[in-house]
Amino acid sequence: MNISFLLFALLNPLFALLAAPLYMALIRKVKAYAQGRRGPKLFQVYYDLRKLMQKEAVYSPTSSWIMRFTPYLNLSTLLVCSLFVPLVFVPEPAGGLGNIIVFLYLLALERFFTALGGLDAGSAFGGMGSSRSMSLAAVIEPTMVISFAALAFVLKSLNLHQMFALTAGTVLPISPTLVLVSISLFIILIVETGRLPVDNPATHLELTMINEAMILEQTGKNLALLELAHALKQFLLMGILINTILPVGLSTEIDAGKIAVSALLFLLKAGLLAIIIGLFESALAKMRLFRLPAFYVMAFFFSALTILIEVFA
């Protein structure tokens, strides 16, 4: 434990928590513009969270402690995750923090409890969403492992902090293979956050839902926590992608000026990525459920290719 780490542990999660919902809103805004609408204003997402926080939670009579526990667990898991992805500056390595295997397991924990929460309310849709989410997870999880393995191969570390300490300060990616890994990471970002063409976050059609179906029965404060956790997850995955492909400006020193520039630049880069995601979502129809593995295989392919190149080149 040192000052650098304490400061990081304070700043990084706070920054992520505050900024994350903004990018949910930004993607929505981009999609609205693509459709010729104006869309709700950017800060509406914060007002909605505040509104939900003030509402009471309603529980189905069949639900157990899982439904009450899941929102808190998810948000705390994601807050721990936010210690793994340096956004404002890269701290000196401390303990197991930053380890990608732990990071993947934390995400798995969150997914597991979301699925349990979906089953817990006893509604048909929660169960359906959970079953779909779990079957798709069986395909996407190995893909994620391979993708992060590829990242580890290229950046010669299992620790995200060390990886990004390596990329920080460069303008362009340090290795061309990182472009391939970034394609995989982009697909993982789309899949993990339940965006088109995998899942439609804007739909009201319960029969087509995956992510939304699992939180369909959640209300009030619990729903706000889950949405915040979801936004955080998206923000962190965006962070990994940005630090991989466009690390310019990421600070490795504790300096108020540099940290401010680093944070500001990150907001801008995330804004750019959000616009890309919004346009990507607009340009595609949702895929047929059974064709989704074909989409994941693309991520798998680029990561496997990276590993082959790194091993044999």
Q: Which residues contribute to the site for another protein (CB under 8 A)? A: 31, 34-37, 124-125, 128, 196-197, 200, 202-209, 216, 282-291
Q: For residue 1, give the 3-state DSSP assignment.
A: coil
268 C-beta neighbours (distance < 10 Å), count: 11
Tell the smallest beta-carbon distance from residue 37 to another protein (Å).
7
Q: Which is nearer to another protein, 171 or 207 (CB)?
A: 207
CA–CA dist 214, 247 (Å, integer):
35
294 C-beta neighbours (distance < 10 Å), count: 11
Tell the smallest beta-carbon distance from residue 124 to another protein (Å).
5
Q: Which is nearer to another protein, 48 or 92 (CB)?
A: 48
Q: Write the burial class of residue 86 (CB in 10 Å: 0-12 exposed, 13-18 middle, 19+ buried).
A: buried
Q: What are the backbone dihedrals phi and psi of residue 5, each rounded to the nearest 5 degrees, phi first?
A: -70, -40
Q: Which is nearer to another protein, 151 or 198 (CB)?
A: 198
Q: Which is nearer to another protein, 92 or 206 (CB)?
A: 206
Asked if residues 214 and 130 have their Cβ atoms less than 8 Å apart, the reply is: yes
CA–CA dist 10, 142 (Å, integer):
32
Q: What is the DSSP letter of 159?
A: B
Tell the smallest beta-carbon distance from residue 279 to another protein (Å).
9
Q: Which is nearer to another protein, 5 or 280 (CB)?
A: 280
CA–CA dist 307, 53 (Å, integer):
45
Tell the smallest beta-carbon distance from residue 106 to another protein (Å).
29
- Residue entry with tokens 């529980």: 59
Tell the smallest beta-carbon distance from residue 202 to another protein (Å).
7
Asked if residues 187 and 237 have their Cβ atoms less than 8 Å apart, the reply is: no
CA–CA dist 64, 87 (Å, integer):
37
Q: For residue 36, give the 3-state DSSP assignment.
A: coil
CA–CA dist 78, 231 (Å, integer):
10
Tell the smallest beta-carbon distance from residue 27 to another protein (Å).
12
Q: Which is nearer to another protein, 266 or 296 (CB)?
A: 296
Q: Which is nearer to another protein, 127 or 173 (CB)?
A: 127
Tell the smallest beta-carbon distance from residue 14 to another protein (Å).
34
CA–CA dist 122, 63 (Å, integer):
7
Tell the smallest beta-carbon distance from residue 200 to another protein (Å).
4
Q: Which is nearer to another protein, 207 or 256 (CB)?
A: 207
CA–CA dist 69, 114 (Å, integer):
10
